[in-house]
Amino acid sequence: MNPLHFKKEDYDKLNLPESIEEFFSKEQYETMCDLEKLRFKNMRLNYQMMLRYGLPAQKPDFMKPNWGISKRAVKSSDSESDDDWRPRAKRTKPQCPPFRPPKPAVQTPVPNGDPLLCQTQKETASEEKKTKGQKSEKPKEEPHCYSLRTRKETNYMKLEVPNDDEFLYCEECNQEHEGDCPVHGPLLHVEDTQVPVKKRRDPNRALKTLPPGLEVKESGIPNAGLGVFATKFFPLRSRFGPYEGRSVSDPDIAHSSGYCWQLSSDDRSSHFVDAKDCKTANWMRYVNCACSTPEQNVTAYQHCGEIYYRAHTEILVRVLVCV
């Protein structure tokens, strides 16, 4: 399955949206020169083109949400008069008066003329001292030490950023979503016929995994060998797969095989899935590559570490399945 080569007419037939005005404000769009606008349009076309054919693509920065938004400046109120206006940075909170302890009450001196009154005041003062001494004489308690409370250790994890491998593209919305489309629902999964991989390995295992509604026979493409034909109608958004085979990490072996799909992880090449061996592969190895864009009816894409085929158009009876 060698990479496809397209002409300019093939890109025009897809009718991909080229507008970039929705990603910029009116002022930003008017200040850009024609060369910048053309550059951003080409970036969006390339990104959508790679998604259309199931290739790993990284969304351009200007298409991401909240791109280029700066903090809003604080607007000054027009209702404030010039006399009352002060800079916000220089406004200070009113200072509280410092705390001052109350002054002790001043006792009035007793005149020396009444000795009986002086004696009575002395007795009253001595009784008050005794009473205060009795109240203050309390058993001293030893200081109590509290043990530290046992606390559970808390791990603060960073928010997980969704991986590009978890997004699905919807042809009807012309937009990708994290998981199934919220408007049109999940894809219609066409499951394989379950055939276990035996120790002796069945050489016809790939043919036995054909799901109902498909058959393998001589392809109509010259020198293409066998191909997969539909024996029943498959609607739009039908999903086939996953693509089965042995895992290969050597690029030279993968390119010489002709039955490999490359998988990516974190925008880097991870490994290849080689379906050359019929004993470990499934029926998807027999799907031919389309010679032109109108012949293509399924798109290969990666999702959750697997390769699937998605029908981007209706597949009629006796039609060759081409990717």
Which CATH number fits the domain that encloses residue 248? 2.170.270.10
Asked whether residue 69 is domain-assigned, the answer is no
β-pair partners for 274? 246, 260
The answer to whether 269 touches 308, Cβ cutoff 8 Å, is no
Asked whether residue 105 is domain-assigned, the answer is no
Residues in the chain: 323
Asked whether residue 247 is domain-assigned, the answer is yes
Asked whether residue 216 is domain-assigned, the answer is yes
Asked whether residue 140 is domain-assigned, the answer is no
pLDDT in tens, the chain (323 residues): 344 455 566 666 666 777 888 888 888 888 989 888 888 888 888 888 888 887 888 888 888 876 655 444 445 445 545 555 555 545 555 666 777 777 766 565 555 555 555 566 666 666 666 665 555 555 666 665 666 666 666 554 444 445 667 788 887 887 888 888 888 889 999 999 998 777 557 889 999 999 999 999 999 888 889 999 999 999 999 999 999 999 999 988 888 888 999 988 877 788 999 999 999 999 999 999 999 989 999 999 998 889 999 999 999 999 999 99
Q: 265 lies in which domain range?
A: 185-323
Asked whether residue 86 is domain-assigned, the answer is no
Question: What six digits make up the tokens of 152?
Answer: 């559970």
Asked whether residue 317 is domain-assigned, the answer is yes
Asked whether residue 178 is domain-assigned, the answer is no
Nearest of 322, 134, 100 to residue 229 by alpha carbon: 322
Alpha-carbon distance of 177 to 3, in angstroms, equals: 26
- The residues, ordered by sequence, that sit 6+ positions from 84 with a Cβ below 8 Å of its Cβ are none
Work out how many domains the chain is built from and give that number: 1
β-pair partners for 188? 238
